[in-house]
Amino acid sequence: MSIEDKLYMQMALDLAARAMGRTSPNPMVGAVVVKDNRVVGQGYHARAGTPHAEIHALREAGELAGGATLYVTLEPCCHHGRTGPCTEAVIQARVSRVVVAMTDPNPLVAGQGIQKLKDAGIAVTSGVLESDACRLNEVFIKYITTRLPYVVLKTAMSMDGKIATVRGESQWITGTAARAYVHQLRDRYDAILVGAGTVLADDPALTTRLPEGGGKDPVRVVLDSQARTPLSARVINQHSEAPTIIVTVPGAPPEQVRALQEAGAQVLEVPGGKDGIDLAVLLQELGQREITSVLVEGGARVNGAFITGHLVDKVYWFIAPKIIGGTSAPGPVGGPGIVHLQDALSIQDINLTRCGEDICVEGYTVKLD
């Protein structure tokens, strides 16, 4: 691949990232039209139901699209969804070459879009900055191929691995910069999940509060097998477009379930599991609701259940330069644990970031290609 191809594809990736957290259940896509080594059109997909990136870029280019090169971060679609096929628009614009970062993992496309362009006589180059494009759309890739949400576990602990003192005090282990970064994560992912114990102990709002204002509130998901969430809890009583889902099991007190529903919460009943709720079934249910990603901000028990169940795709692990101590002070992961070190969960593709005085370890439970 040429230096020019990399340069313009990076521009397209940067455009795509502008819609971070806004396109679900669609991918983030950016497009750039180049003619005579000059950008004549650009655009990105802003949200589901709106024109795709290619359409924005081609409209801006107008007649200059004829004979130009189109750089797009994802293979152009060739099927009718909420919008028409982008391949038809590309062909009609008389583009001479299309450079694609990655093939669309959607089974409805999966190489067919590229083939349609080739059949129309358009030269196609694929795989330019492919790994960057896959990383950008890691949520979409999992969801469109499995119909399961991408699960991200976020936790914060002291240097000696404690998430609270021996008396349960946990606010705040990390500093203001780390907490601000967590709100950026909430703005990025579709849902945030906690256990009923967190709601009862801390009464969190579970909303997005960015320093510059605005932000998108995630869907609030509370694991509450016995419907113990108080009707006065902030997860229920606040002005937010995002719903609150209380997850219970069969046999939860019907009067409390009814009261939660009347208070405005959605109640989702799933089968019980070893840790109170069958998390695998829950993720299937959330996927059916087009919730493509879940940010887990639970305590030790919830974290342990997700890790033991091999349900976590990515972690954000904040470490504060503090030593709490105490044999009985809780750590970030509960559950039965492992017996042999060879069975420990390995974190791959690690990235370390300074957040003020704290360190964030970002990594994946499965090594990326």
Please indicate if the annotation marks 96 as binding a ligand: no
Task: State the Cα–Cα distance between residues 253 and 149, nearest whole angstrom.
Answer: 29
pLDDT at 13 over 80: yes
Please indicate if the annotation marks 170 as binding a ligand: yes
pLDDT at 284 over 80: yes
Q: Shortest CA distance to 191 belongs to which of 281, 275, 298? A: 298
pLDDT tier for residue 82 given thresholds of 50, 70 and 90 = low
Please indicate if the annotation marks 24 as binding a ligand: no
Q: What is the pLDDT of residues 135-159, one digit of tens each?
A: 999 999 999 999 999 999 999 999 9
Which residues are catalytic, by number?
54
Mean pLDDT of the chain: 92
Q: What is the pLDDT of residues 307-319, one digit of tens each?
A: 999 999 999 999 9
> What pLDDT, on a 0 to 100 scale, did the predictor assign at position 167?
86
Please indicate if the annotation marks 14 as binding a ligand: no
pLDDT at 15 over 60: yes
> What pLDDT, on a 0 to 100 scale, did the predictor assign at position 314?
97
Task: State the Cα–Cα distance between residues 292 and 21, nearest whole angstrom.
Answer: 10
- Region 127-140: mean pLDDT is 96
Please indicate if the annotation marks 344 as binding a ligand: no
Please indicate if the annotation marks 304 as binding a ligand: yes
Q: What is the pLDDT of residues 218-230, one digit of tens each?
A: 999 999 999 999 9
